Amino acid sequence: MRGEEVQFFGAVAAGLAPAGRLLCQPGTHSKWARVEAARIRDFSTAMTGEIYSLLRRHSLLSEMLDGEAAVGSAFQEGVREGCKQTVLSSLFGARAAQLLNARPAGDGASFVSGLLIASDAQSQIRGVNDDVYVIGDAPLGVLYAAAIETLGGRPHLIDSAAAFVAGASKIWEVLA
């Protein structure tokens, strides 16, 4: 069992997230799960963080992604753009906006982060007011929570360390 599964299990076992709800772990490879009766019922993962990292280091967008992503108007604009399901075209549009000075120079990282996170999250949220329990810490957990809220979900942030400790403790209890 990996740390992610322990955190999912721990969040539910400790009552940090109710069983049967959507849980999200942002990261290099974001993970989404529904946990019921101490079992992961549905699970998917996406390369959201890895793609963002590749764009920051090895793409023609790298120069405009030198700042840190933060919740704000550029991030929210990226989230709304990410809902259009034209991510690849939108990424090229981000570059054009930067070259034409249509977006402030420091907003590239926030916009692209919002674009990618929205593309990831919108495929998981089933409807307006869907509760999503985000097991993650700042800054990434906060970005995911903001995107989920913009998409109509209700995010609940859970400390990842608390979820891991709860999961490991419950596993130890069961095995002892």
pLDDT at res. 54:
97
Tell me the torsion sign for CA atoms 118, 120, 124, 130: negative
User: Whole-angstrom Cα distance, residue 82 to residue 34?
Assistant: 24
Q: Write down how long the chain is.
A: 176
Q: What is the mean pLDDT of residues 133-152?
A: 95
pLDDT at res. 80:
95
92 pLDDT above the threshold of 90: yes
164 — pLDDT class (breaks 50, 70, 90): very high
pLDDT at res. 31:
96
pTM of the model: 0.93
pLDDT at res. 1:
60
Can you say whether residue 41 is alpha, beta or left, with left for phi > 0 and alpha for psi between -120 and 50 degrees?
alpha
DSSP helix/strand/coil, 70: coil
| Tens digit of each residue's pLDDT (9 = 90 or more) over 132-142 | 999 999 999 99
> 117-137: buried (b, 16+ CB within 10 Å) or exposed (e) per residue?
bbbbbbebbeeeebbbbbbbe
Domains in the chain and their CATH numbers? 3-47+128-175 (3.30.420.310), 50-118 (no CATH)
